[in-house]
Amino acid sequence: MISLSGNSIYLRALEPEDLDFLYALENDEKVWEVSETLAPYSKFILKQYLANSHKDIFEVKQLRLAISNYENKLLGLIDLFDFDPKNKRAGVGIIVLESSNRNKGIGREALSLLLDYAFEHLDLHQLYANISENNSPSIHLFSSLGFEKVGIKKDWNYTSGKFYNELLYQKINNQ
């Protein structure tokens, strides 16, 4: 049985009332490197995004879920992207917005729930993550859940006047 509920958090679909959180996240320049954002998003554009967020993963090739605690506070987002049902794979990304909520197991629990969902419900064979070489917390998180570094994209991202390598991590479902 698949559950999107863990011990301290649960994953849920985005709702219209998530607009302010999404606006804060998408317009926080500190996370633009991770999301590859170059310019701020308007509330109008984000309202349109939320209005279409109900579409099926098989149609739009992505799924964004809210990471929420049991006090119904939105903590972050976790995504499946580049969903490819033919080849049974997808990319995965995660962000916990407030630094005070990081390194508390929230990301690990959310990613673990998403792994179960992707492998059991979507019948995926593999997930991958693209992680900047200087993002130690993400490298630790994905490695701790069985993702293996399988490649390096040299000088892939240009940030603050410097090029950084991007690491490719992959988890194969062998069950």
Helix/strand/coil for 165: strand
Q: How many CB atoms lie within 10 A of CB 159?
A: 11
Residue ranges per domain, the chain? 9-172
Q: Which of 14, 114, 11 is nearest to 70 (CA)?
A: 11
Answer whether 0.75 is exceeded by the pTM: yes
Instruction: Give the phi and the psi of residue 125 in degrees, each rounded to 5.
Output: -95, -30
**The pLDDT of residue 116:** 95
Please check whether residue 120 is in contact with residue 155, taking contact to mean a CB–CB distance below 8 angstroms: no
Q: Which residues pair with 99 in a beta bridge?
A: none
Which residue stretches of the chain are H helix? 19-26, 32-35, 43-52, 57-60, 106-116, 136-144
pLDDT in tens, the chain (175 residues): 356 999 999 999 988 888 888 888 777 766 656 655 666 777 777 777 777 776 777 777 889 999 999 998 999 999 999 999 999 999 999 999 888 888 889 999 999 999 999 999 999 999 999 999 999 999 999 999 999 999 999 999 888 889 999 999 999 998 7
Strand pairing category for 89-96 and 126-132: parallel
CATH architecture classification, 9-172: 3-Layer(aba) Sandwich (3.40)
Q: What is the mean pLDDT of the chain?
A: 87
Q: Which of 88, 34, 38 is nearest to 58 (CA)?
A: 88
16 CB burial (10 A radius; 0-12, 13-18, 19+): exposed
Round to whole Å and give the CA distance between 153 and 167. 6
